[in-house]
Amino acid sequence: MIVRTAAPLDVVRVRRDFPIFERTVRGKRLVYLDNANSTQKPRAVLEAERSFYERGYANIHRGVYLLSQEATEAYDRARARVAGFIGAKNPAEVVFVRGTTEGINLVASSWGRSHLAAGDEVVVSEMEHHSGIVPWQLACAAAGARLRVIPVTDAGELDLDAASAMITPKTKFVSLIHVSNAMGTINPVREVVDLAKRHGIPVLLDGAQAISHGPIDVEALGCDFYVFSGHKLFAPTGIGVLWGRAALLDAMPPYQGGGNMIHTVTFEKTTYAPLPFKFEAGTVNIAGALGLHAAIDYVEGLSWDAIAAHERTLLARALDRLAAIPGLTLQGKPAHRAPVISLTVEGIHPHDIGTVLDAEGIAVRAGHHCAQPLMARFGVPATVRASLSFYNTLEDVDALGTGIERSIEVFRG
């Protein structure tokens, strides 16, 4: 049998596609290691937005004139492109939202309003981003339901035994982060989905951190809703995706009212547009959708296998380099992880480390990463988070290690 492997990623060429890497920061080469927060944009994405605004701008679904027709067709193509990208069978199941946060809020509000009642339970995990906690707290408070939390082990992994015991006939919904934004843990989401399906419970997966590191197939995952943000996928801010099964979306009431989401309006009664327009009230982010289309084309043009191999190399180098620094603790050591690392250094606040790194042109995140319950679980108020992407290099990883050593010298003398 012949085993074919993808050609190695040409990182030098890839970096030329991202204008941001042509600049310096504080007189130093930019080392961008905050990809879990937001990714940089390739020229193809920038040009897609610019071309729309310069040569084809018009609102969609509003006019019979050529510009509006062209914009509408491009927006519809973007929706179909997203559907194919995530393995969705029906483009009408793809709802454009502002991002992951709005997508989760939409489901928690609309589905929760229709289905949650006093005594019901919603299950989330201890490693959720705040956007996977607060919307469900609001929905549970409104219905008199209870929020239950799957605990996290010392390694930063889900306690599956606890999850199995916690998901019962009283559970009405499970909402779970696919990949931890704070520690990079790749959760065994299919196992959790299977636990939920034994009781006929719908599952939402927060794919904000998973979407840029490998192919997603919502049908294979078996979930009922999947959400992600464009800006995590090298696309513009202000655009995101909620995918949901048509039967569930059809049965949910609108999240917002206004233009574009209606069929007929009278003062006595309003009827609503079919999917997905029922959930896209008002003027949508057309340019953002076109930018997302361009970002998907760009990423898939690189080969997921090549991306994964390169990111594995970066992660292994980073873990080895950082583990050798005295006084540095890696927070969470999951067996399966995306290239996201959270760390603390004894006696030095993460914000101070981030400041020293910034002086060296290195961009990392320092704080609680919108995951305060997870920080509390590990007994730290904050961490330094370095998150890698395919345009990062081994030199970037080495610069991070050297920068942290420099931080220790500055604050310990």
Kindly state whether residue 250 falls inside one of the protein's structural domains.
yes
Residues 282 and 139 in one domain: yes
pLDDT band at 6 (very low <50, low <70, confident <90, very high): low
Count of domains observed in the chain? 2
* Rounded-to-integer distance, Cα 39 and Cα 33, Å: 9
Sequence-distant (6+) residues with CB within 8 A of 6 are: 303, 305, 306, 309
Instruction: From 300, 319, 339, give the residue that closes a domain.
Output: 300
Minimal CA–CA distance to 388: which of 35, 40, 18, 8?
A: 35
pLDDT at residue number 3? 42
Residues 227 and 285 in one domain: yes
Instruction: From 275, 300, 325, give the residue that closes a domain.
Output: 300
- Which residues constitute the domain of residue 373? 11-41+303-412
Retrieve residue 222's tokens.
Answer: 């078996």
Cα-based distances in Å from 408 to 33, 183, 319, 354, 360: 19, 22, 18, 12, 14
**DSSP secondary structure code for residue 371 in this structure:** -
Pairing of strands 340-345, 383-387: antiparallel
pLDDT band at 63 (very low <50, low <70, confident <90, very high): confident
Peptide bond into 19 cis (omega under 30): no
Average pLDDT in the 199-204 region? 97
pLDDT band at 412 (very low <50, low <70, confident <90, very high): confident
Judge whether residue 40 has pLDDT over 50. yes
Average pLDDT, the chain: 96
Catalytic, out of 273, 363, 370, 394? 370
140 is catalytic: no
* Rounded-to-integer distance, Cα 403 and Cα 411, Å: 12
Kindly state whether residue 5 falls inside one of the protein's structural domains.
no
pTM of the model: 0.97
Judge whether residue 217 has pLDDT over 60. yes
Minimal CA–CA distance to 342: which of 395, 396, 401, 382?
A: 382
Strand order in the sheet with 171-177: 94-97, 240-244, 225-229, 203-206, 171-177, 121-125, 146-150
Judge whether residue 32 has pLDDT over 80. yes
pLDDT band at 413 (very low <50, low <70, confident <90, very high): low
Which stretches of 86-133 are DSSP H helices? 100-115
Instruction: From 265, 300, 335, give the residue that closes a domain.
Output: 300
Whether the Cβ atoms of residue 272 and residue 302 lie closer than 8 Å to each other:
no
Residues 158 and 265 in one domain: yes
